[in-house]
Amino acid sequence: APLATAFGLARLSWQAEGRMLEQLAVYTAASGGEFDALEVAALFRISLRAAQQRLELAVALATRLPRTLAAVKAGRFDPYRASKIADATLPLSLEDAAVVEEEILDRVEDMPAVKLVRVLRRIVARVNADALQALHEQRVARRRVDMYPTEDGCSVLTVHGSAARVQVAAKRVDAIAYQLRDTGGADDRTMDQLRSDVALDLLAGKDFQHAKITVQVTLPARAALGVDNTPGHLVGYGDIAAQQAVDLAYQTDATWRRILTEPATGRVLDVGRRRYSPPAALRDHLHAAMPTCTGPGCVRPAAQCDLDHREPFPAGPTDEHNVHPACRSHHRGKTFGGWRVIKRGGILEWVSPCGFRYPHTPEPLTHPEPTDPEPAPPL
């Protein structure tokens, strides 16, 4: 049956992932460096945080939960559920972790992850009553806010924090959304749309009244004049619809920084400015020409990056040919972690300590205009 075949293939993939985690643990044990995650992120084409999490799981399974790793390698369950066992036993001693592993291992195959987490919490509390509080404090210490783009001009904002506070915040959003619906203020919006609008109004301020913002958007002049609908570019996100770019550019509380692009290629030629010193002018030009970190697969906006010298200063000049944006992790990897950045024919290339090469070619901010074909010679 197709479904049984699909599940069999899933088990094969779990086996492969188990062996992959085992090899990552071997790599980390041999290297043991601060910059291991940079190497893994570049090679696997994943984010630095995802690489760190994958390495942490590999090490936890190999050193603390060997039977769990063996079960994943045998295809009994997936690495995601194995990660829940690793998370739950994080504050425990090796002996207590082994007790929890022994009790849960034969039950994991029949449990979805959400039920597994609840059962693990109960077992951990029984094995070590103080462990739950220690685990909670560790998690709260790692609270954060994440933002990442999705598609079609939208993004997702996630808030990681205390479960009690997050529940209160979610219930407040719900209460306001229901009040709007019940008092005729929904304007034909669904409850999901109302919740999204309410949450963003609370955080960003309705019509941006809470903060002065600067929106750096790029769009061809003809799109700004409404002549055509060539997509624009929003720094920190990417291509957006022309009308959305125009709407952002003309927000009353926003500043539209003009970016001049070459029509034939879409590359940045100049960034509009009035009173900037040369270093600031160079920074603005580089931020526009290279909108993100130049490190492998990294999409951190250039405005949140360091401006790194490819050839160290003062031997290397401070100009657009020798300076490029690099997030703090990639900057440190180049300075202290054995990474190198070379330039080949105008293209930056990052070379990892393991010898893998990752060229970086900045994407054009606007879509290059098609060139007219040369007329055919007369017969």
DSSP 333-363: HHHHSS-EEEEETTEEEEE-TTS-EEEE-PP
DSSP state, residue 377: P
Q: Report the residue count for the chain.
A: 379
Does 379 reside within a domain?
no
- Segments forming the whole domain that contains residue 348: 282-360
Q: Do residue 133 and residue 150 come from a single domain?
A: no
Nearest by Cα to 176 from 164, 189, 163? 189
Q: Do residue 222 and residue 300 come from a single domain?
A: no
Prediction pTM value: 0.71
Q: Do residue 136 and residue 151 come from a single domain?
A: no
C-alpha count within 13 angstroms, C-beta hemisphere, residue 86:
24
Q: Do residue 224 and residue 339 come from a single domain?
A: no
Q: Do residue 185 and residue 218 come from a single domain?
A: no
Contacts of 149 (CB under 8 A, 6+ apart): 155, 156, 237, 238
Q: Do residue 18 and residue 113 come from a single domain?
A: yes
Does 276 reside within a domain?
no
Query: Residue ranges of the alpha helices (H) in 183-277?
Result: 191-204, 221-224, 242-249
Neighbouring CB atoms inside 10 A of 291's CB total 24
Contact 21, 61 (CB under 8 A): yes
Tokens representing residue 140 in the block? 């709260």
Q: Do residue 204 and residue 217 come from a single domain?
A: no
Peptide bond connecting 314 to the previous residue in cis, omega within 30 degrees of 0? yes
Q: What is the tally of structural domains in the chain?
A: 4
Q: Do residue 313 and residue 204 come from a single domain?
A: no
Nearest by Cα to 301 from 218, 232, 237, 212? 237
Q: Do residue 105 and residue 169 come from a single domain?
A: no
Residue 80, by phi and psi: left (phi above 0), alpha (psi -120 to 50) or beta?
alpha
Each of the 379 residues of the chain gets a pLDDT tens digit; together they read 899 999 999 999 999 999 999 999 999 999 878 899 999 999 999 999 999 999 999 999 999 999 999 999 999 999 999 999 999 998 899 999 999 999 999 999 999 999 999 899 889 888 887 777 777 788 888 899 988 888 778 899 999 988 778 888 888 898 899 888 888 888 899 999 999 999 998 887 765 444 444 556 665 555 555 656 666 766 666 667 666 766 665 555 454 454 545 555 555 554 544 333 335 655 666 677 788 899 998 988 888 888 888 877 566 666 667 788 899 999 999 988 999 999 887 788 999 999 999 998 876 666 666 655 566 566 5
Does 202 reside within a domain?
yes
Q: Do residue 23 and residue 98 come from a single domain?
A: yes
Q: Do residue 81 and residue 179 come from a single domain?
A: no
Does 370 reside within a domain?
no
Does 97 reside within a domain?
yes
Q: Do residue 220 and residue 92 come from a single domain?
A: no
Q: Which domain-ending residue is among 257, 291, 318?
A: 257
